[in-house]
Amino acid sequence: MEAETESNRDISMCEDMHQDPTRGSCYHEIDITTYITPELNQKTEALVSASVCLDHTDPFDDRTIERVLKNLNPAILEYPNFVPCFGQMPDMSKDCFLILENTYLTVLKCIGEGGYAKIYTVCDHTLSVDETISLSSADQVKVIKVQTPPCQWEFYVSCELRRRLTNLRSPMNIIPSIMEIMQGYFFENGSILLMSHASLGSLLNLVNTYKDNRTLMAGVEPYACLLTIELLHMFEQIHKCDFIHGDVKPDNFLLLGFPHIMEGCTNPELVFGSRLRLVQLIDFGQSIDMTMFPRDTTFMAKVLTSDFQCIEMRTNRPWTFQTDLFGLVGTIHVVLFGTYMKVFQEQGIWRVTGNFVRYVY
């Protein structure tokens, strides 16, 4: 059997990397061998003194989260899409039929699995009042995220972030690019989040289709530029709403579409529009609500469970929104180069090892 090489291997989030170190790098790398610790000035000392050290195995403290959820006004139980369910969560298997309150679903297949959750495509029969409608039609195929133990936090963050974005009233609408939970079903031992289905897959899936094709790689820069602008809009507003996503990476962006832009178009409205059109951000399970903490709080925790540690975490410096911005830059790096980002410091300046290649035919 021919040995697998780095060039013909799909980039992925290798959850079993610690068991199989031969699989290669599945995350960004920060080389701190040449890192020079900066001298503490008055501003840095103030930041450190104001920092709140969280649990070093989590991006937030579970007890704090529990307290916040209990003190919500209105209570999370009063959210219109929160559905409390008594008893144990039903088992999931292909073709099984689920009755969740007034929602009727058939499980189609498992399309993703993480440490605590599984993602299934389902067929929603709830609106099938017309027998002529095909059960496989796009508007009936949805996604459920099944998690044990139940995770009310991601439900809260998604709903609250969309509410704050609505109140923000920005001329660039990013709300369609934020994961929407249609219904959340919460059992004693687990939760089921019902969401729309993104049939185009993730940004990581897209990169894996072109990363070994020289012709496609040569033409990716315009898409990467537009994506960068959209992601900057996205995280500018998320951070204005006092949320840190905490797990920004290519497979947490689902593809929404590929808008057609006429070559040579110089009209900003036609190029950028008034809403984001490329990707949707998902997976808010590691998010931090900064309104939970005193103003100007920074953190010193290292998110050991994350695939991506920002430079501040690796160099023991206080951080807040830097973790999202590092993930944003790393995501664009993956789109441009087809590989994860490698960062090093040179004469006090952080640099990446990737270089642009000009393809000549």
CA pair distance 283, 248, nearest whole angstrom? 9
Residue 4 lies in a domain: yes
48 and 79 belong to one structural domain: no
Mark which of 151, 179, 196 sits at the end of a domain. 196
Residue-by-residue pLDDT tens, the chain, 361 positions: 433 344 445 655 443 333 333 333 457 776 666 656 666 666 666 666 666 665 444 456 778 788 889 989 999 999 999 999 999 999 999 999 999 988 999 999 999 998 789 999 999 998 654 555 555 566 789 999 999 999 999 999 999 999 999 999 999 999 999 999 999 999 999 999 999 999 999 999 999 999 999 888 888 999 999 999 999 999 999 999 999 999 999 999 999 998 887 777 777 777 788 889 999 999 999 899 999 888 888 888 776 655 568 898 888 888 899 999 999 999 999 999 999 998 988 888 888 887 766 655 4
> CB–CB of 95/107 below 8 Å?
yes
Residue ranges making up the domain that contains 211: 1-61+199-361
> Which position among 247, 251, 283, 324 bears the catalytic label?
247
Here the CATH number for the domain that contains residue 100 is 3.30.200.20
Please give the single-letter amino acid code of residue 160.
Answer: E
4 and 31 belong to one structural domain: yes
Residue 177 lies in a domain: yes
pTM: 0.84
Mark which of 196, 221, 240 sits at the end of a domain. 196
Picking from 55, 46, 48, 60, the residue whose alpha carbon sits closest to that of residue 293 is: 60
Residue 67 lies in a domain: no
Please give the single-letter amino acid code of residue 131.
Answer: E
Mark which of 152, 176, 196 sits at the end of a domain. 196
324 is catalytic: no
The pair of three-digit structure tokens given for residue 238, joined into one six-digit string: 């998320």
109 and 167 belong to one structural domain: yes
269 and 178 belong to one structural domain: no
57 and 113 belong to one structural domain: no
Q: How far is CA 103 from CA 76, 97, 98, 304, in A?
A: 20, 11, 8, 38
Number of domains in the chain: 2
